[in-house]
Structure 1
Amino acid sequence: MSYPDYGQGPYGPVPQSHPNGTTILVLGILSLVVCTFIGPFAWSMGNKALREIDGSGYFYENRGHVQAGRICGIISSAMLILTLGLVAIGLLFGLLSALSDI
């Protein structure tokens, strides 16, 4: 008895989609447009998904979505760090000026 080969189509392996590909892309885009605080999540999930894709040996049709979401997460994380740094410097200068007036 032979079993059907579900992994092969008439022209080679059937492309798969990573289950978190769309989620990572949406999180990456939203981190740039709406809230930079979700950027590190897109970056982290994108790294994990790319490791899974590379380790599987299969062709994933949404690898570009995962990469784009990861890159958006990296950019958003850099903007978040820059913003928090500027806020910290502003608070430090404000505190120093308040203390110098005493």
Structure 2
Amino acid sequence: MTYDAPPPGWDPQSQGQQPGYYQQPGYNPGYQPPLPGYYPPGYYGAPAPDHPQAVVVLILGVMSLVFCQLLGPVAWIMGGKARREIAESNGAIGGSGMVTAGWICGIVATAVILLAILFVVFAIIVGAVGSSQ
């Protein structure tokens, strides 16, 4: 199909094109690509790098629940320090989800080991009182 005459009301001078040229919808001849490093509105760029100890805190927290509750206080202390550093960075450091998960696992493991210690002490006291009678 050829176009011999432009459609009514079409001015080739205002469009900058020759008669009979089909313009694709959305084509903009004056478009310039954005500068490097420019992000359009709604695009926030690359995510912040994770805290260097985020994975360590998460692993210690999970291991303190599963294998050795003695790692619980270590995960709790390291997680608290890492959470503070992430909060003070104002978004420059990420990984708060992993750190928080490890921190909570450390708190739970510490509570479990304290309950176990209290149970053992209580059993020793009950055993000592029961055997003395």
- TM bucket, shorter chain: 0.7 to 0.9
* Cα pair 2:86 2:94 within 8 Å, conserved: no
Which runs of 5 or more residues in structure 1 are unaligned? 1-7
The runs of 4+ residues in structure 1 deviating greater than 3 Å are: 8-14
Query: 1:59, CA displacement in angstroms?
Result: 3.8
Out of 96, 100, 105, which is 1:67 matched to? 100
2:70 pairs with 1:45: no
Residue in 2 that maps onto 1:5: none
Residue in 1 that maps onto 2:111: 78
Considering Cα pairs closer than 8 Å and 6+ residues apart, tell me whether 1 or 2 has the greater RCO. Answer: 1
Residue type at the aligned position of 2:88: G
Give the total of aligned pairs: 93
RMSD after superposition = 1.8
Deviations 1:5-55 (A, max 9, x none): xxx785446512101000000000000000111101101110010111111
Which runs of 5 or more residues in structure 2 are unaligned? 1-36
* Aligned mates of 1:44, 1:28 — CA distance in 2: 11
Rg larger in structure = 2
Q: Which secondary structure does the structure 1 equivalent of 2:56 belong to?
A: helix
Greater mean deviation of Cα atoms: 29-38 or 52-61: 52-61
